[in-house]
Homo-oligomer: A and B are copies of this chain.
Amino acid sequence: MTVDRLAHILRGHGLKLTSQRRAVLKVIAGSHGHLTPAAIYELVRKEYPTIGLVTVYRMLEVLAELDLVCRVHGETTCRSYMMRRPSGHHHHIVCSSCGKVVDFARCALDELQHRLSRETGFKIQGHLLEFSGLCQGCLGETAAEDHR
């Protein structure tokens, strides 16, 4: 999703396009991993040094509201965001070393969900699925270290 496309969506919801917002969009859309509000703030500051951390928080709120961003849960951080790339239902594989995130859509949980619903009596409305591990890049580094 390009910054322009995102900008267009914001405008469509009656939101103003400030340069601060553009800068935040650029950082989030350009990242391949999940970012905490503080990390986004630091990155945005390189391009827009006077931006306030509050603005980042507010922007994340807006993006979450419009479902353009999704939260990544991790071992420690649970308030880490990334652009929602495929629209609709999807999940993540997170690299525990570099934070890189890859999405996947087909999760084949329908059958499990039905079984659980039957067995527990819950009316199941949603689910959260995240895999964690090491991406190819980080695997390579670990292997390289082992040779030293």
Chain A interface residues toward B at CB < 8 A: 73, 78-79, 93, 95-96, 102, 104, 107-108, 111-113, 116-117, 119-136, 139
Contact = CB atoms under 8 A, between A and B. Distances in A.
Contact of A135 (B108, B121, B131): B121
What is the count of identical protomers in the complex? 2
A40 B124 CA distance: 27
A127 B126 contact: no
Nearest to A130: B128
Given A107-B112, A108-B112, A128-B73, A123 B102 contact: no
A123 to B, nearest CB: 5
13 contacts: A73-B73, A102-B122, A104-B119, A104-B120, A108-B111, A120-B135, A120-B136, A121-B139, A122-B131, A123-B133, A124-B131, A126-B132, A126-B133
Given A122-B102, A139-B123, A116 B93 contact: yes
